[in-house]
Amino acid sequence: MKVLSSLLFACATAALALDVRVEPRNDVPQITLDGQPVRPRWFWGGPTSTHYEIKTGSQLLDMRYISDADYQGPVTFHLRFKDSPATLWIEKIAVIDTVTGQELLTPFTFAKGMDDFKAGWNYWPTDEQNTVGSIAAEEHDGKNCLKLTLTTPPTGGSWPDFHLYSRSQNLAFVAGRTYQVQVWLSASAPSELNFAGYAPPGQIGNSFTKLLSDGQFQSQIKLAAGADIDFVSMPVPMPWPKPGSEPDWRGPIAAVERVLQANPKAKLVPRFGMAPPTWWMQENPDELMVWKDNAHQHRPIHSVSSQKWLREATERMAALIEFLDAKYPDNMAGYHPCGQNTGEWFYQDSWSQDYHGYGKAEQDAFRNWIMKRYPSDNALRLAWQQPAISRQDVVAPEPQRRRDAERNGMLLTPGLAQDVIDYNLFLQDAMTDAVLAIAKTVRSASKGKKLSVHFYGYGYEFAAMARMSASGHYKLRALLDSPDIDILCSPISYTDRQLGGAAHAMSAAESVMLAGKLWLYEDDTSTHLSTGTPPGWKQRANNQWESRQKLVRNTAQEICRNFACWWMDLRSAGWFNDPTFWEDMKQLAAMDWQLIQNPQPFQPDIASVLDEFSANYTIDGGGITRPMIYTDRASFPRTGSTFGQYLLDDVVAGKVSSRLLVMLNAWVLDDAQRQALRQAVTGRTVLWCHAPGIIDPVKGLDIQASAALTGFQLQAMATPDPCVVNASTAGRAQGLPENWTNGSKPALLFSVVTAPGDDILATWPDGSAAVVRRGQAIFNAMPALPPELLRYAATCAGITSYTSDDCVLFARDPYFVVHANHEGPVTLRFPDARIVTDVMNNDVQATPAATSITLDLRLGETKVIKATPAKQ
């Protein structure tokens, strides 16, 4: 009877659980809560630790921290300092229970010099990774101290995570109780201290779990709730016990309760890692990634090809989802599983461009992939042009082979380099297969009622890599076709996010939306409250005003493009703990709701088009892919027109309505694809870039096939030094710059063979044509894309720009977002008379009859206006 009652209770709980989904309304994906659309604005954060200022000279740092949960067990305290040169003499550290007065920490004094330090403390890293820190016992001002010397890395590289830490002590903390931390020290130069207490791995979760916070996390949750933002994402440990042991749910419970104490109505989307614990990796060495080059520099990590890892990780994840859904049915809104490099499902250490694939799980998976791709040994031999190869003998290509494979410039040669091409394709399949299996488990474990959220698809961002395919992010279409994924996300691009910049999407975000998925910006802007040197720190806001301009720019852009976002306290240090930020978010609610309640697909005038398949053929492509795809995204929001980011297959399928199509990297196409693309662009204005259709997957380099696609005959040429094109008289008359370069020396370049009637807009230094217009088609052979060329192409397409200024512009008529990249006036033009109001303060800015408005802006100022037609 008791079992029956429990089952009935569980069924009732499941029936009453929140139903949170992404559902299309008028072809616009929207988050719905029990069937009702909600603002797709979230907060992301974790328990915070304040960075306390250290001044020059002697001082006492007196700090207060709160325990977020009851805890008894091993505790280690960590001291981290600012990444800047300084010498610090630390005399004493004390941790005190403010209720009992008990001093918890073993005394940190130096009567016996380094012996006292070694008895209770250590530092990390201790090997060659430590390029910045050294310690010694030294008398200073008559006191025995630990002398800590911090110096700039000798190579000018990034600072390691150098820190002091105490050896574990068994301590007890009480939920809600305040603990006093005191540090007596002297400093030779200004610095900062970040103090934290952790439960070591294996106590609550698989990694260090923060036990003490300064309350800023809860403060930010409350500020978000005050702006009607109840969605909260936060890190949650995923219990992964050893076989025969029960999972310890204390970590997940503490993480959830910490949020609910601040906002009981919070709708939670926990983020958790799918990496196995250290003991698992030690017991399963065959399931790990293995590198050959610089192998010692890569930390141990599971392979996504490991079926043992995937099976056990999804089992642990399903248990976590079922536990949280049952315990918190009114609060759980979705789940965000993460893995590999920084949890974002690109291969560990991809940016280092070292070669992995030599572990047993990786080799077995590649061999199985080959078995499916090629029905026989003979088929493999023909494709690879290796008469002695057999499918059973296939292994990952050696690093030297991957570096030296046959190529045409930066494009691998089909056939001769087919083994490397196939391995690149395998890398994409292996990663997406793992993500798809995880997404399917999220869908099943949550009974289809919770959001399935995943990082993936950084096609534009990873064009900055010399080998784009090394990331594993070039099979986005597989995820877009999955019914088990609701939201795909990434940080805002780390290029052009500064004051005056545009804050780009890393992905073909509009194609994500076309597939019925929601694209989400992780807005980890380094506000003026930010700390340390995480990604994006070089574009840090200097003050509150700059922070607000950037956040409003980002959020208003997302509203225009129907995107979701979370504001991310990246270092869990209170980056968004400013009421004015959340007042701005609240002020943007009317604009948000206008487009939520009257959903319309975003249909921009200009389409930036990316081909993910061609990425698998690139090798040493950074000289072309980085400037044209990664860096020159900056040109699109500076045209005065609307733009979107798409996959090539959506263009071929007729799903992209933009009047100007910009083909960035459609390099590798077979006969059927070329014919379909040629038909898809008929009657449209197309800006062809660099070398479209130049490679056939079977025939290899085929200049005639490129000509059949674009109508332009190309001629191979040596790269000029410097690599620059010069605008012709006709080009300058159309507003093109006198010359432009891509800042590198590309290995594959062409000139355009002109025909009578062509408009030659720019030439190579030898006088051959580089940029040519022929009817409604424009060919840009230089792998760089200045905004002036885009504006000219938009004019050819009959697109009327809202401004001729080079400011950053996002628009969704009647809403316009202007972010100034210079001081002074910016004029907007409208197609008819408009009444203009400032969305951020409801101030009337123009007369009812105005067809234009001039805004006098500061550098970096963001204006969000609503321009309502005077006649309605």
Q: Are residues 192 and 93 in the same domain?
A: yes
Q: Are residues 149 and 98 in the same domain?
A: yes
Beta strands in 492-580 (DSSP E): 518-523, 564-568
% of the chain exceeding 90 in pLDDT: 85
Whether the predicted pLDDT of 793 surpasses 90: yes
pLDDT band at 7 (very low <50, low <70, confident <90, very high): very low
Q: Are residues 766 and 847 in the same domain?
A: no
Query: By mean pLDDT, which of 141-145, 299-303, 609-613, 652-656 is the weakest?
Result: 141-145
Residue 474 lies in a domain: no
Distance CA(856)–CA(829), nearest Å, equals: 15
pLDDT band at 843 (very low <50, low <70, confident <90, very high): low
Write out the residue range of the structural domain in which residue 57 sits.
Answer: 51-214
Please give the residue that has the higher pLDDT: either 44 or 118: 44
Specify the pLDDT at position 16: 61
Residue 251 lies in a domain: no
What is the residue whose two structure tokens read 């106590």? Answer: 203
Cβ neighbours of residue 408 under 8 Å, at least 6 residues apart? Answer: 694, 695, 700, 701, 748
pLDDT band at 118 (very low <50, low <70, confident <90, very high): confident
Q: Are residues 824 and 683 in the same domain?
A: no
Answer yes or no: are the C-beta atoms of 736 and 786 closer than 8 Å. yes
Specify the pLDDT at position 297: 86
Distance CA(764)–CA(778), nearest Å, equals: 16
Query: By mean pLDDT, which of 99-113, 274-288, 491-505 is the weakest?
Result: 99-113
Answer yes or no: are the C-beta atoms of 220 and 576 closer than 8 Å. yes
Residue 86 lies in a domain: yes
Q: Are residues 626 and 750 in the same domain?
A: yes
Answer yes or no: are the C-beta atoms of 56 and 82 closer than 8 Å. no
Please give the residue that has the higher pLDDT: either 116 or 5: 116
193 phi and psi angles, rounded to 5 deg: -120, 130
Rounded CA Rg of the chain: 29
For residue 858, give the CATH number of its domain: 2.60.40.1180
Whether the predicted pLDDT of 126 surpasses 90: no
Q: How far apart are the first and last CA of the chain?
A: 67
Distance CA(239)–CA(316), nearest Å, equals: 7
Q: Are residues 725 and 835 in the same domain?
A: no
Q: What is the pLDDT of residues 571-590, one digit of tens each?
A: 898 999 999 999 999 999 99
869 phi and psi angles, rounded to 5 deg: -55, 135
708 phi and psi angles, rounded to 5 deg: -65, -30
Distances (CA, A) of 492 to 123, 495, 514, 557: 34, 9, 20, 12
Q: Are residues 763 and 859 in the same domain?
A: no
Distance CA(624)–CA(611), nearest Å, equals: 14
The number of distinct structural domains making up the chain is: 3
Q: Are residues 761 and 617 in the same domain?
A: yes
Q: Are residues 755 and 624 in the same domain?
A: yes
Answer yes or no: are the C-beta atoms of 491 and 457 closer than 8 Å. no
Whether the predicted pLDDT of 113 surpasses 80: no
Examine the fold and report which residue of 184, 214, 244 is the final residue of a domain before the chain moves on: 214
Chain length of the chain: 872
Specify the pLDDT at position 1: 39
Average pLDDT over the chain, rounded to an integer = 94
Specify the pLDDT at position 495: 95
| C-alpha angle 341-343-349 in degrees, rounded to nearest 5 | 0
Distance CA(257)–CA(264), nearest Å, equals: 9
Beta strands in 283-405 (DSSP E): 334-338
Q: Are residues 784 and 830 in the same domain?
A: no
Among candidate residues 248, 359, 239, the one with its CA nearest the CA of residue 307: 359
pLDDT (mean) for 823-831? 96
Examine the fold and report which residue of 146, 181, 214 is the final residue of a domain before the chain moves on: 214
Distance CA(796)–CA(528), nearest Å, equals: 43
Answer yes or no: are the C-beta atoms of 618 and 625 closer than 8 Å. yes
Which pairs count as long-range contacts for 722-730, CB under 8 Å and 24+ apart, including other chains? Answer: 723/749, 723/782, 724/765, 725/762, 725/763, 725/764, 725/770, 725/771, 725/781, 725/782, 726/762, 726/763, 726/764, 726/765, 727/761, 727/762, 728/760, 728/761, 728/762, 728/763, 730/759, 730/760, 730/761
Examine the fold and report which residue of 183, 214, 245 is the final residue of a domain before the chain moves on: 214
Q: Which two tokens stand for residue 537?
A: 């720190």
Within 10 Å of residue 12's Cβ, how many Cβ atoms?
11
Whether the predicted pLDDT of 158 surpasses 90: no
Q: Are residues 714 and 860 in the same domain?
A: no
For residue 711, give the CATH number of its domain: 3.40.50.880
Residue 84 lies in a domain: yes
Residue 739 lies in a domain: yes
Whether the predicted pLDDT of 836 surpasses 90: yes
Write the Ramachandran bin of 285: left for phi over 0, alpha for psi from -120 to 50, otherwise beta: alpha
0.85 exceeded by the pTM?
yes
Distance CA(663)–CA(713), nearest Å, equals: 17
pLDDT (mean) for 9-13? 45
Residue 511 lies in a domain: no
Specify the pLDDT at position 100: 95
For residue 104, give the CATH number of its domain: 2.60.120
Specify the pLDDT at position 848: 66
Residue 219 lies in a domain: no
Specify the pLDDT at position 5: 44
Whether the predicted pLDDT of 592 surpasses 80: yes
Q: Are residues 115 and 93 in the same domain?
A: yes
pLDDT band at 622 (very low <50, low <70, confident <90, very high): confident
Q: What is the pLDDT of residues 536-568, one digit of tens each?
A: 989 999 999 999 999 999 999 999 999 999 999
Residue 784 lies in a domain: yes
